[in-house]
Amino acid sequence: MVKRKKEDIIDKIVAWGCKLVHLDKHTATFQQLAKFFIVGVTNTAINWTIFAIALHFLPIADEVAKSVVASAIAFALATVFNFWASTTWVFETTNKKSRKRLFIEFAVMTGIAFLVFDEAMLAWLVSLGWQPMLAKIATTACGMVFNFITRKIFLEDHSEKKH
């Protein structure tokens, strides 16, 4: 059984827009994308803020190492917010999986994106001479599509028909 989310102002605005441009059959997808975008922007703000603060205060001389550690701290804190927001507002999560299992799957997929995009790509770009915050922006952009696809696959229950 899938938990149904109560319709909110974002759902209503998107539904109105879809009706206006005759995309009624895609309303649910656009509603979900709009919410994913809002959560993503908020999560990114949290992540970047913590990253910038950590860059300022971490007592590490090597710029690459400092960037990687600051990114890890920011990632860990932002992931908790992102899981909560994704499972309570964006995706219709399944009752077939426990919250613990959902979090583990979420953390693994988010962790893969983090290691590939935030850590490896960040370290590479900073080692090439990029300013750490610009490198962070670039890595965030690369991870967005991966994050949406994996969250949709692992958080939702696709075996049931939605009415």
* Per-residue confidence (pLDDT) for residue 53, from 0 to 100: 96
With 50 as the cut, is the pLDDT of residue 163 above it? no
Q: Is the pLDDT of residue 3 over 60?
A: no
Q: What is the mean pLDDT of residues 8-19?
A: 92
Beta-bridge partners for 94: 2
The position carrying tokens 């992931």 is 79
Closest CA to 139 of 117, 119, 120: 117
The widest CA-to-CA distance across the chain, in whole angstroms, is: 56
Q: How confident is the model at residue 140 (pLDDT cuts 50, 70, 90)?
A: confident
Condensed to tens digits (0 to 9), the pLDDT of residues 72-110 reads 899 889 989 999 998 888 887 767 778 888 888 888 888
Does the pLDDT value for residue 38 go beyond 80?
Answer: yes
In this model, does residue 69 exceed pLDDT 90?
yes
With a cut of 70, say whether residue 27 has pLDDT above it.
yes
pLDDT band at 2 (very low <50, low <70, confident <90, very high): very low
More confident position, 9 or 162: 9
Residue predicted with more confidence, 36 or 3: 36
The mean pLDDT value for 137-158 works out to 76
Joined tokens for residue 104? 């583990």
